[in-house]
Amino acid sequence: MGELGVALIIEDDLDMRGLLEAVLGQAGFDVHTASGGREGVQSVREISPDVVTLDIGLPDIDGFEVLRRIRQFSTAYVVMLTGRDEEADVLAALQGGADDYITKPFRPREVRARITAMMRRPRHSPPIADADTPRPAVQPVSPGPGNSTGVLRYNGLELDYRRRTASVQGTMVELTRSEFELLHEVLQGAGAVLSRAELVRAVRGEQYRDNTYISGADERAVEIHIGNIRRKLRDDPESPRWLETVRGVGYRLPAQRTRASR
């Protein structure tokens, strides 16, 4: 096994497949490839990769269907590769369970940086199925600097960073890795306005420093993630409990609600 684990490339274009194989191999992955969607799904079953790069335009079944099938049994990181950057495609990929998307043509160094940074961030744990399973005794803390290893509670939302779980009034909420990181960043901000660029860096990790170029597509992805989080939390953007939009800037945590206003 490679230093960073196992990577699977699902790509029908021979040249693109060779490029990705070289990029991921140099990054430290044990790389496997598949040229079609059905072959790719079967390969995920057989080799249990840590990360999958997935082309949308495959010759048999498209990448969205491949993603849907993979997500039925695998928690591998999935990065969608596409020559299209329409918002509908990005939305379909992220709502379908993709962790990231990269448009073609791309810079090999950026692909490597984004995937390796993504791999350094743990995936969140699935919700606990057994209600009788004991949970660690932790002290609730309010959002603020220095609480990245504990539990954040705000307006009925509880975010456990170590367990990578989220719940509202005790009901578990399933978030993707990117959604969890974004929500955690907003809670940590304690009411400070976070720009879309800052939230891109929060999702991408340390490879995205202050001087790293952030594209419009990156910022649109943040907007889509925020929309997904709101939908899952049932957070009304007109009267938000957790994600308030600051027009033209970004997002922040709204003021703490009193009992009378809930």
pLDDT in tens, 40-69: 999 999 999 999 999 988 989 989 899 989
14 φ, ψ (degrees, to nearest 5): -60, -45
How does pLDDT run across 120-177, given as a tens digit for each residue? 665 544 333 333 333 322 233 444 444 445 788 888 899 888 888 899 988 899 888 8
3-state secondary structure of 2: strand
For the beta sheet containing 165-168, the strands, ordered from the edge strand earlier in sequence to the opposite edge, are: 151-154, 157-160, 165-168, 171-173
What confidence tens digit (pLDDT) does each residue in 224-261 have? 888 889 999 998 888 888 888 888 778 888 876 544 44
**Phi, psi angles (nearest 5°) of residue 56:** -80, -45
* Cα-Cα-Cα-Cα dihedral sign, residues 29, 35, 40, 46: negative
In sequence order, the 6+-apart residues with CB closer than 8 A to the CB of 91 are 224
Going along 91-222, which residue ranges are E strands? 100-103, 151-154, 157-160, 165-168, 171-173, 194-195
DSSP β-bridge partners for residue 100: 79
- Alpha-carbon dihedral 39, 40, 42, 47, rounded to 10 degrees: 130
